[in-house]
Structure 1
Amino acid sequence: MRTYAIGDIHGHLAKLHAAHALIAADRAACGDQEAPIVHVGDLVDRGPDSSGVIEYLMQGQGRGENWIVLRGNHDRMFLGFLEDPFTEDPILSPHVSYLNPRVGGEATLQSYGIPDAFSRPLEDIAPELTAIPQTHRDWLVAQPAYFTRGAAIFVHAGIRPGIPLEDQVEDDLLWIRKPFLTDRRDHGALVVHGHTNIEAATHYGNRLNLDSGAGYGHPLSTVVIEGRDAWLLTPEGRAELPRG
């Protein structure tokens, strides 16, 4: 059972287009036009074109592409800001606002034509949030927090070890690091995730981290998964990701 997956996009539409081109090449090479493409969340923030990323993925799903788009913590923060810009996500550090450049919300608003959000009072910005189309808001709300297929679980941040999938809470699915990242136990399926920025996509045996730092100017990782085996897609073809 084959599945394609793409790491944290963070507003980089050109990198997303390149990732889909790599998948198209692999599809042609293996003759599989049906395998789904899973995007593991964090569509927005930091990069230059969050609005374009959302529109591209929304339009693709609308025309029937077999694309699964998961909700990441940055996507949830964006939605929360749109609902009430004066209230932050409860998991976010109280010393860092959504609009802080470290989070990247200012770049997201800029992509919708709302400039200099971090340096202006929220009272001035709030009325301008009508620039974000309701279709984008509704689409983001509708995206799931996880997806299962074959021997893999796809989720943005990870899972809390030892808890059945149906009992996991969204805060963990979208935000967890420890104890998930340090747990070497088998989780019953390969957990494919992003959220925690590392140098390159890495297969740890029980999990596969795809966040290679696209939001910080690094590559966007694209992989193909068959069972619990995975390959990084490159312009030269597949590169095996050995199990750690």
Structure 2
Amino acid sequence: MRSYAIGDIHGHLDKLLEVQDRVAADKAQVGDRYAPVVHLGDFVDRGPDSAGVLTHLARGVAAGAPWVLMKGNHDRLMRLFLYEDPRPDPARPGVIWLDRSVGGRETLASYGIDVSPDVPIAEIHAQALARVPQDHVDLLDALKPGFRYGGVFFCHAGILPGVALEAQIEDDLIWIRDLFHMDRRDHGALIVHGHTPIKAVTHYGNRVNLDTGAAYGGPLSAVVIEGGAVFVLTEDGRRPLLPKGR
């Protein structure tokens, strides 16, 4: 079974289009139009064009592209802000979407919303409700916390070790870090995730991390997985990705 995955996008439409072109080129070479292309979440925040990313993804899904869109923690934070009564993330109530470190203001600015420091939060919220299109909200509502395809399990952040894949909860799938990263056991499937920026796509044996820091000026990365083998998609085609230490 063949599948593709793309790491954390964070509002970089240009980088997304570039890696989707790499995926399309690989699909054309192997003659496979239908293999799923899993986008690992964090579509918004920090980058310059979150609105453009969501528009592009919504159009592709509507056109029948074989894309699977995972939910990231930043995507959930955005959706929670877009309720009539904005609410904190129940798993991280201290994380404020409009704080500088999170990136929500950059996302709203991409919709033409005035997010200047002197604008009251209530006014920013009212602008957001008026300007974020309904199809973007619908897209955020439709994101998947986890997706299994053959021997691979895709999610944004990781899984809680020792819990069956079908019993994982969304809070862990979009937020977990250390407990998952430190666990070396076989999870019953290869876990493909993002969420934690690293310098290069890395295969740890039981998991593959695709977040190469697009949010902070790094590249956006993509892989193809087939027959248990993982390949990074580069400008020059596939590059085998072996588990560390092999």
TM, length-normalised to structure 1: 0.95
| Residue in 2 that maps onto 1:235 | 235
After superposition, the Cα gap between the structure-2 partners of 1:235 and 1:122, relative to the gap in structure 1 and judged at 3 Å, is same
Distance 1:8 1:91 in 2: 20
Counterpart secondary structure, 1:179 = helix
Q: Which amino acid aligns with 2:110?
A: S
Q: Unaligned stretches of 5+ in structure 2?
A: none
Matches within 5 A, 1:136-175: 136-175=136-175
SS of the equivalent of 2:238 reads: strand
| Correspondence for 1:135 | 135
CA distance in 2, matches of 1:236, 1:48: 27
Task: Report the CA distance between 1:203 and its aligned residue.
Answer: 0.5
Q: 1: distance between equivalents of 2:39 and 2:118?
A: 32
The alpha-carbon deviation at position 87 of structure 1 amounts to 3.2
Aligned to 2:115: 116
Per-residue CA deviations over 1:27-55 (Å, capped at 9, x if unaligned) read 12222222110001000000111111111
Q: 1:138 to 1:118 in 2, by over 3 A?
A: farther
Alpha-carbon distance in structure 2 between the residues aligned to 1:105 and 1:18? 24
Q: Do the aligned partners of residues 193 and 118 (structure 1) sit closer, same or farther apart at CA in structure 2, a change above 3 Å counting? A: farther
Q: Which residue of 2 aligns with 1:21?
A: 21
Task: Work out the percentage of aligned pairs sharing the same amino acid.
Answer: 53
Alignment: residue pair count: 243
Q: Distance in 2 between matches of 1:84 and 1:215?
A: 28
Distance change >3 Å, CA 193–CA 55, structure 1 → 2: same
Gaps of 5+ in 1: none
Q: Is the 8 A contact 1:19 1:220 kept in 2?
A: yes
State the distance in 2 between where 1:209 and 1:220 align. Answer: 12
Q: Cα distance, 1:88 vs. partner?
A: 2.3
1:183 aligns with 2:158: no
Q: Structure 2: how far apart are the matches of 1:160 and 1:84?
A: 32
Give the Cα–Cα distance (whole angstroms) in 1 for the partners of residues 49 and 30 of structure 2: 32
Aligned CA-pair RMSD: 1.4
Structure 1 residue 150, shift from structure 2 partner:
1.0
8 Å CA contact retained: 1:224, 1:231: yes
Q: Secondary structure at the residue paired with 1:128?
A: helix
* Conserved? CA contact 1:4–1:37, under 8 Å: yes
Q: Could you tell me which amino acid in structure 1 is paired with residue 176 of structure 2?
A: I
Instruction: Determine the structure 2 residue equivalent to 1:88.
Output: 88
- 1:78 equivalent in structure 2: 78
Q: Measure how far apart 1:205 and its partner are.
A: 0.6
Distance 1:158 1:219 in 2: 21
- Cα distance in 2 for residues equivalent to 1:219 and 1:138: 28
CA contact (8 A) 2:40 2:72 kept: yes
